[in-house]
Amino acid sequence: MERTFVMVKPDGVQRGLVGEIISRFEAKGLKLAAARLELLAEERVVEQYREHLEKPFFPGLKAYIMSGPCFLTVWEGRDAVAVVRRMIGATNPAEAAPGSIRGDFGLDIGRNVIHASDSPASAAREIGIHFGPAELIEYSKIDEPVLYE
């Protein structure tokens, strides 16, 4: 099974969308492996978004991510990275399909509710930034036999 990192950003937390987002992933059949509500330290925000450090929007992005609590999660399932990316929708909510998280809850690219890893390599890197190995819970869900062949 594959793991992926998902973060509900401050706008999603402030708008009370954490429960709805968790429900969507659980209803899909993904397994929650770790979760924490946290105000992120600058060092971790910089590491999380290091590919954007030199871009003109980075200072605003950093300030926004640090403006309030984020809900950090790790989800597990077959092809979890691709499944979650489809569920969250396009980065720009105006281009996100209805039914996706951003399509249903986002209006602005700068306040797009949620972040999710875009590849298995990114997932491993991002999980390592935010969670230690002991925080990742291994368990079997009772519904796994009906979810997978």
| Domains along the chain with CATH numbers | 2-136 (3.30.70.141)
105-136 pLDDT, tens digit each: 999 999 999 999 999 999 999 999 999 999 99
Q: Can you point out the beta strands (E) in the chain?
A: 2-8, 31-38, 70-77, 114-116
Q: What is the pTM of this model?
A: 0.95
What residues are paired with 74 via a beta bridge? 5, 34
Just list the catalytic residues. 115
What whole-number distance in Å separates Cα of residue 68 and Cα of residue 51?
Answer: 22
**Interval 46-63 mean pLDDT:** 95
What whole-number distance in Å separates Cα of residue 2 and Cα of residue 119?
Answer: 11
Task: Say what the alpha-carbon torsion angle 144, 147, 148, 149 is, to the nearest 10 degrees.
Answer: 110
